[in-house]
Protein backbone atom coordinates (compact mmCIF):
# COMPACT_ATOMS: atom_id res chain seq x y z
CA UNK A 1 0.00 0.00 0.00
CA UNK A 2 1.14 3.55 -0.76
CA UNK A 3 0.34 6.09 1.97
CA UNK A 4 1.06 9.66 2.93
CA UNK A 5 2.90 9.81 6.25
CA UNK A 6 -0.36 10.95 7.90
CA UNK A 7 -1.94 7.60 6.94
CA UNK A 8 -3.94 8.86 3.92
CA UNK A 9 -4.21 6.02 1.38
CA UNK A 10 -2.98 6.89 -2.11
CA UNK A 11 -2.91 3.47 -3.82
CA UNK A 12 -3.57 -0.14 -2.92
CA UNK A 13 -2.49 -1.82 -6.17
CA UNK A 14 1.29 -1.42 -6.27
CA UNK A 15 3.71 -2.66 -8.90
CA UNK A 16 7.47 -2.23 -8.39
CA UNK A 17 9.87 -1.56 -11.27
CA UNK A 18 13.23 -2.77 -10.02
CA UNK A 19 15.02 -4.33 -13.00
CA UNK A 20 16.21 -2.60 -16.17
CA UNK A 21 13.42 -4.06 -18.34
CA UNK A 22 10.56 -3.10 -16.02
CA UNK A 23 12.04 0.39 -15.57
CA UNK A 24 12.38 0.86 -19.32
CA UNK A 25 8.85 -0.39 -20.04
CA UNK A 26 7.03 1.37 -17.21
CA UNK A 27 3.41 1.88 -18.23
CA UNK A 28 4.06 1.84 -21.99
CA UNK A 29 1.49 0.05 -24.17
CA UNK A 30 -1.16 -0.21 -21.43
CA UNK A 31 -4.65 0.99 -22.25
CA UNK A 32 -5.32 2.21 -18.72
CA UNK A 33 -4.62 1.53 -15.05
CA UNK A 34 -6.96 1.26 -12.04
CA UNK A 35 -7.67 4.44 -10.06
CA UNK A 36 -5.88 3.06 -6.99
CA UNK A 37 -2.75 1.91 -8.89
CA UNK A 38 0.86 3.05 -8.57
CA UNK A 39 4.03 1.85 -10.28
CA UNK A 40 7.02 2.56 -8.03
CA UNK A 41 10.45 2.74 -9.65
CA UNK A 42 13.22 1.84 -7.18
CA UNK A 43 16.89 2.78 -7.61
CA UNK A 44 19.81 1.48 -5.54
CA UNK A 45 21.07 5.04 -4.97
CA UNK A 46 19.84 8.54 -5.84
CA UNK A 47 20.47 9.64 -9.42
CA UNK A 48 19.44 12.10 -12.11
CA UNK A 49 16.31 10.84 -13.84
CA UNK A 50 14.72 11.41 -17.24
CA UNK A 51 11.15 10.20 -17.78
CA UNK A 52 9.21 9.94 -21.02
CA UNK A 53 5.69 8.92 -21.95
CA UNK A 54 6.38 7.50 -25.40
CA UNK A 55 3.88 4.80 -26.35
CA UNK A 56 1.59 5.91 -23.51
CA UNK A 57 -2.16 6.13 -24.14
CA UNK A 58 -3.20 8.22 -21.15
CA UNK A 59 -1.81 11.07 -19.02
CA UNK A 60 -0.04 10.30 -15.75
CA UNK A 61 1.26 11.99 -12.63
CA UNK A 62 4.92 11.33 -11.88
CA UNK A 63 6.01 11.83 -8.28
CA UNK A 64 9.76 12.06 -7.67
CA UNK A 65 11.12 11.11 -4.23
CA UNK A 66 14.50 11.40 -2.54
CA UNK A 67 16.14 8.61 -0.53
CA UNK A 68 13.97 9.47 2.49
CA UNK A 69 10.79 9.08 0.37
CA UNK A 70 10.11 12.81 0.51
CA UNK A 71 8.47 14.31 -2.59
CA UNK A 72 10.91 16.56 -4.45
CA UNK A 73 8.81 17.15 -7.59
CA UNK A 74 5.41 16.29 -9.06
CA UNK A 75 4.74 16.46 -12.79
CA UNK A 76 1.67 15.72 -14.90
CA UNK A 77 2.71 14.22 -18.21
CA UNK A 78 0.59 13.80 -21.31
CA UNK A 79 1.14 10.88 -23.70
CA UNK A 80 4.11 11.16 -26.05
CA UNK A 81 6.06 13.76 -24.07
CA UNK A 82 9.30 13.82 -22.11
CA UNK A 83 10.54 15.42 -18.92
CA UNK A 84 14.19 15.68 -17.97
CA UNK A 85 16.72 16.60 -15.34
CA UNK A 86 15.36 15.75 -11.92
CA UNK A 87 18.31 15.34 -9.57
CA UNK A 88 18.68 13.15 -6.50
CA UNK A 89 15.83 10.74 -7.28
CA UNK A 90 15.80 7.44 -5.38
CA UNK A 91 12.20 6.56 -6.30
CA UNK A 92 9.57 7.80 -8.67
CA UNK A 93 5.96 6.83 -8.93
CA UNK A 94 3.67 6.75 -11.98
CA UNK A 95 -0.07 7.06 -11.32
CA UNK A 96 -3.21 8.24 -13.10
CA UNK A 97 -3.19 11.95 -13.87
CA UNK A 98 -4.88 13.94 -11.13
CA UNK A 99 -4.05 11.49 -8.34
CA UNK A 100 -1.44 13.78 -6.82
CA UNK A 101 -3.87 16.68 -6.61
CA UNK A 102 -6.84 14.61 -5.41
CA UNK A 103 -4.67 13.10 -2.64
CA UNK A 104 -3.25 16.48 -1.64
CA UNK A 105 0.34 15.55 -2.49
CA UNK A 106 2.92 18.35 -2.45
CA UNK A 107 6.68 18.76 -2.37
CA UNK A 108 7.91 18.05 1.13
CA UNK A 109 5.32 15.32 1.87
CA UNK A 110 6.78 11.99 2.94
CA UNK A 111 5.31 8.83 1.43
CA UNK A 112 5.19 5.41 3.06
CA UNK A 113 5.56 2.14 1.15
CA UNK A 114 7.47 -1.09 1.56
CA UNK A 115 10.70 -0.85 -0.39
CA UNK A 116 12.62 -3.23 1.87
CA UNK A 117 13.12 -6.74 0.59
CA UNK A 118 12.15 -5.93 -2.99
Instruction: Look at the pTM and tell me if it is higher than 0.85.
Output: yes
In the chain, how many domains are there?
1
pLDDT exceeds 80 at position 116 = no
**How confident is the model over 92-102, as pLDDT tens digits?**
999 999 999 99
User: Would 85 be classed as within a structural domain?
Assistant: yes
| CB neighbourhood size of 56 (10 A) | 19
Kindly state whether residue 117 falls inside one of the protein's structural domains. no
d(CA 50, CA 85): 6
Range of the domain at 25: 2-112
State the pLDDT at residue 78: 96
Find the angle CA(90)-CA(93)-CA(94) to the nearest 5 degrees.
145
* pLDDT tens by residue, 10-58: 999 999 999 899 998 888 999 999 999 999 999 999 999 999 999 999 9
Q: What is the pLDDT, as a whole number, of residue 95?
A: 97
Bridge partners (DSSP) of residue 115 are none
Whole-angstrom distance, CA of residue 9 vs CA of residue 28: 25
Strands 9-11 and 111-112: unpaired
Question: How far is residue 24 CA from its own chain's centroid?
Answer: 14
118 in any annotated domain: no
Residue 94 lies in a domain: yes
Residue 30 phi/psi, 5-degree rounding, is -80, 145
* Inter-residue contact 4 to 112 (CB < 8 Å): yes
Amino acid sequence: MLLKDDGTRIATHIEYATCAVSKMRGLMFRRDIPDDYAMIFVFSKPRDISVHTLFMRFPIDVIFLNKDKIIINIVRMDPWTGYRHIRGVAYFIEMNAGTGESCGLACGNRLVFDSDGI
